[in-house]
A and B are shown apart, each in its own frame.
Chain A
Amino acid sequence: DAKTTQPPSMDCAEGRAANLPCNHSTISGNEYVYWYRQIHSQGPQYIIHGLKNNETNEMASLIITEDRKSSTLILPHATLRDTAVYYCIVRGNTDKLIFGTGTRLQVFP
């Protein structure tokens, strides 16, 4: 599975959009981009995933560049409860998820 690079930390004001970037320049054609988050040492929670088209669900939007070498997770209206570590994971058709160290997002009032 391709490796990912994320900034270690980011801040966001409550009510504003949080845009979390992820680089995955070695991604191959059959690999998906997944996002999970971990709130204060709880178990990770699935957010969204995509292959090449932009995706949106009730939690977030995922924007993948045309060359698929990077992506952005967007939380449209961040709340204090969105403070968490966000993991970007590139995954092929394997049984495993490989977690990096993620981005620690701090949402402030």
Chain B
Amino acid sequence: NAGVTQTPKFRVLKTGQSMTLLCAQDMNHEYMYWYRQDPGMGLRLIHYSVGEGTTAKGEVPDGYNVSRLKKQNFLLGLESAAPSQTSVYFCASAFGGGFYEQYFGPGTRLTVT
């Protein structure tokens, strides 16, 4: 099993450009999450999904959109990138909510100039 994979690993955007980050998991997990991590800080939840076709807002959802069209994939979109969105983005998945542990991907390092 590959676990949780993220594409791309690195990206540089100019302000105002758009892009989509892809998260894929092969563990048949129902729940998927997108986090961002800024330097010296813990992870903050952007959006999450409790199953195919569902999405919900986390702590810092503004400026991002998500879609979960297939159970194994969770997409994070930036419609108009801003320098404040420069961060490392982590995807995670879990068998369920509540007390199930989350499995994290390797991260995507995004720089917006």
Contacts and interface: CB of A to CB of B under 8 A. Distances in A.
Interface of A: 32, 34, 41-46, 49, 87, 91, 93-102
A49 B101 contact: yes
A74 to B, nearest CB: 19
Contacts, number: 53
Contact of B99 (A42, A44, A93, A98): A93
Interface in B65-113: 88, 90, 92, 97-99, 101-107
Interface string B35-72: 10000111111001010000010100000000000000
B107 A97 contact: no
Contact of B106 (A32, A43, A94, A100): A43
Given A32-B99, A95-B97, A95-B98, A45 B104 contact: yes
| A interface SS class | loop
Contact of A95 (B42, B50, B104, B105): B50
Contacts of A32: 99
Given A32-B99, A91-B99, A95-B97, A43 B107 contact: yes
B4 interface: yes
Given A43-B105, A43-B106, A99-B44, 14 more contacts: A32-B99, A41-B88, A41-B107, A49-B101, A87-B42, A93-B97, A93-B99, A95-B50, A97-B43, A99-B35, A99-B43, A100-B42, A101-B40, A101-B42
